[in-house]
Chains A and B, each alone.
Chain A
Amino acid sequence: MSERKRTGPFDIIATVVAQEPAGSAAYRLTLDCPEIARCAKPPQFFTISCHALSQIHAGADADSVPLDPILRRPLGFYRVRPDKGEFDTIYQVVGRGTGMLTLLKPGDRVRVLGPLGKNINPKDIRSRTALLVGGGAGLPPLCYLSEALQDAGKEIIVIAGARYRELLIAPTVSRRLKRPVGGRKDVQSLEPLAQRDIDCAIALERHEEGFFEGLITAPLEEYLELDYEGGVEIVACGPPPMVRVIAKLAEKKSVKCTVVMESRMGCAIGACQTCVIKTTSGYRRVCVEGPVFDAKDIVWE
């Protein structure tokens, strides 16, 4: 019983600490929720109601239940501070529900469920070097994962993709790469990663100084040309079409690839069978059998 209480998942009320824009289409939301902050591991996720609880929450009053939209949104963790009992998420505004999330303000109380899904242990990554590749809502969980893997002594390289610069979740800074790639020594890197001395290459759709041009596979192909003593493997997280091209490239180059999948969800704890994706062993639930999968087990549609 005490074991279960320690690891969750918890269906619980969190308090909003802060919310601010993260790039032009995303927000960074900080929640106070010690139960979840204490046991979250990358790249697990949580779900959040789009509605703040009314300030006079009194059991089952009609105004205290969410009616529309009714489902909670699955979001990834960006930073977790177990000592402070807080965590950050960065989410993109993609519809009415995430639009409503932008209205949350400090002091609001909101129902959350988490941490959910399987995590990646540093020992699951057998290679000495991990390429963390992704974009969109997949980038924040990869940043979270990069810290855990770096602390475990892995060499981490983050490869990010975005349509244009303003969509990136954090400012960029010029950085001299520890491992030059594609004839480049200096590139624009995400500031939070540079602060942790993690190499980061960014691909944008249009040409910009210091960035790679084209799909995320452009810098990834360059990185796969390098030699890695102790081996290299990929962890991919992002919009399904992006994850798919990453997985296909990994397969072509015979590099191990772990994918972190996203899906529309109902319950998010394994009961409703709605968030399934097709795998070589049938439909599997992203919420409990995932979100972490071996890319070679996914049947790409």
Chain B
Amino acid sequence: MTPEQNDTNAEPSLETELLGMKMRTPLIMASGTFGYAFEIARVADLDFSHIGAVILKSVTLEPRQGNPPPRVAETPAGMLNSVGLQNPGVDYVIRHYLGMLENFDTNFIASVAGHTVHEYVECSVKMASHESIRAVELNMSCPNVRDGRRFASDPAGAAALIRAVKERCPKPIIAKLAPGTEDVGEIAGACIDAGADALSAGNTYVGMVIDTRRRRPLLGGNTGGLSGPAIRPLAVHNVCLVHQVASQKNIPVIGCGGVMTGNDAAEMMLAGACAVQVGTAVFTNVHIAADISAGLRKYLVAQKENEVSAIVGTLQQNETS
């Protein structure tokens, strides 16, 4: 037996490190699909050992009642949501929810949204001050509220926001970029220069479903954010574009969009993501991180890789004329 064959017999490691967090897998449960963790943890036998981190549902400085229902519409291989950032406000979340996180054996990242720079800063500082929170993701790309994407569509605005949060926030910050913008590279560069510690690429895509009988949009909020496997090719390309910029400055990219299987996660990582968010897939199976981990290990075995981090950004583009 050659040493090389010997290596492939060992179970490949999915362990990785991101922003100082030790993660047992590169899988991060995406904001908005995993609640504040305790809701999903009610399901019997939920095993956090396949989950590298959880990004909590976005919080805002004040409570938000969210958009009128219906808030979900199914689409081909995906779904639109129009929740509109319903949440009980940062103070309530800290007082009633964050204390429960110590019962769950994984890393937790806060997600913060707001109308103004001030709101983002205050909210980030409050969440980051809690001992269970390891980092803060700035939701600069919510498609379901007025101004939701303002900060992610203007490099100067994005930079100003990040600089302001970075100045006060005691924990690493992740900028969640809007996908599908021509200049995503430019925005990514502006976020990095302003001090973002990592980038999430990206978020849901804006879409609409029309109820033809009533001649009205099906969603109460008219438009919604498209997620699920329908957007995966778009998301993989988006990760490539962001990675081109971030790799030059050694800033980690977190891939996000339509990941359902281990092979999907591998695609994201080859494109340059060092961790991968899993969102809509949770609705099909609460235990899906276990299946994705198993699939990712299988992929690494087939590729004769011992560590998942070895594949990050190793995509070889084809020659084109």
Contact = CB atoms under 8 A, between A and B. Distances in A.
Interface of A: 4-5, 8-11, 35, 49, 59-62, 64-72, 97, 111, 113, 263-278, 282-283, 288
Given A61-B295, A68-B76, A70-B77, A283 B66 contact: yes
B74 A265 contact: no
A120 B135 CA distance: 42
Given A65-B281, A274-B83, A8 B262 contact: no
Interface in B242-271: 260-263
B69 A283 contact: yes
B79 interface: yes
A10 B35 CA distance: 18
Interface stretch (B40-48, B105-113, B191-199, B308-316): B40-48
A266 B34 CA distance: 11
B85 to A, nearest CB: 9
Q: Which of B69, B77, B263 has the most CB of A within 10 A?
A: B69
B69 A277 contact: yes
Residue of A35, A67, A113 with most chain B CB atoms under a 10 A cut-off: A67
Given A267-B282, A271-B35, A283-B65, A113 B43 contact: yes
Interface in B55-69: 57, 65-66, 68-69
Nearest to A51: B284
Contacts of A11: 43-44, 285-287
A282 B65 contact: yes
- The winner among B34, B42, B78, B86 for most chain A CB atoms within 10 A is B42
The 4 closest A-B pairs by CB, nearest first: A60-B295, A271-B35, A59-B294, A274-B72
Contacts of B280: 70
A277 B69 CA distance: 7
B262 A60 contact: yes
Given A10-B44, A59-B291, A59-B295, A111 B72 contact: no
Contact of A266 (B79, B285, B287): B79
Contacts of B286: 11, 113, 269
Contact of A9 (B33, B34, B44, B79): B44
B285 A111 contact: yes
Interface of B: 32-35, 39-40, 42-45, 57, 65-66, 68-74, 76-79, 81, 83, 86, 228-229, 260-263, 280-288, 291-296, 298
6 contacts: A59-B294, A70-B284, A71-B79, A71-B283, A111-B284, A273-B83
B291 A60 contact: yes
A272 B32 contact: yes
A276 B294 contact: no
Given A269-B286, A271-B40, A60 B292 contact: yes
A278 B285 contact: no
Contact of B39 (A64, A97, A288): A288
A291 to B, nearest CB: 14
B39 A283 contact: no
Contact of A72 (B44, B66, B284): B284
Contacts of B283: 70-72, 266-268, 272
Contact of B229 (A67, A266, A268, A288): A67
B65 A69 contact: no
Nearest to B29: A271
A267 B65 CA distance: 19
A243 to B, nearest CB: 15
A289 to B, nearest CB: 12
Contacts of A282: 65
Given A269-B43, A271-B33, A273-B83, 9 more contacts: A11-B285, A35-B44, A59-B262, A60-B263, A60-B293, A113-B43, A264-B72, A266-B79, A267-B40
A211 B98 CA distance: 56
A263 B35 CA distance: 19
A179 B292 CA distance: 59
Contact of A272 (B81, B263, B285, B298): B81
Contacts of B293: 60
Contacts of A97: 74
Given A70-B74, A278-B68, A272 B83 contact: yes
Given A11-B286, A272-B81, A273-B86, A67 B42 contact: no
A90 to B, nearest CB: 22
A94 to B, nearest CB: 12
Given A10-B43, A59-B298, A276 B86 contact: yes
